[in-house]
Amino acid sequence: MLLQNEIPHSATLAYLDAAQSSLPHRISTIFNPSPMPSASQIKAFPWTKLNWLIVNEVEASDLCKHLAPDTEPSTSKYAQSPAASFPAFPYTLTLSDILPTVNLVCTIGSEGVIALLPSLTDDPSPIHLPAAKLRGNVRDTTGAGDCFTGYLAAGLMKLEERHIGAFTRDEIIHVLIRCVQVCGILTTPISTDDNRP
Interval 8-51: pLDDT, tens = 999 999 999 999 887 677 788 999 998 899 999 999 999 999 99
Q: Residue 145 in contact with residue 168, Cβ under 8 Å?
A: no
- 154, with CB counted inside 10 A (0-12, 13-18, 19+), is middle
Q: Which CATH number fits domain 2-187: 3.90.45.10, 3.30.460.80, 3.40.1190.20, 3.40.225.10?
A: 3.40.1190.20
Domain ranges across the chain: 2-187
Q: What is the mean pLDDT of residues 187-196?
A: 51
Residue 109: its pLDDT value, please? 84
Residue 63: its pLDDT value, please? 95
Q: Residue 82 in contact with residue 89, Cβ under 8 Å?
A: no
- Nearest Cα neighbor of 84 from 124, 123, 128 is 128
The pTM for the full model equals 0.85
What is the spatial distance between Cα 94 and Cα 73, in angstroms, rounded to a whole number? Answer: 6
SS3 state of residue 32? strand
Residue 54: its pLDDT value, please? 96
What is the spatial distance between Cα 47 and Cα 60, in angstroms, rounded to a whole number? Answer: 14
Higher pLDDT, residue 195 or 30:
30
Cis peptide before 35 (omega within 30 of 0): yes
Interval 114-148: pLDDT, tens = 999 998 988 888 999 987 665 555 555 556 778 88
- The dihedral region occupied by 112, where left means phi > 0, alpha psi between -120 and 50, and beta the remainder, is left
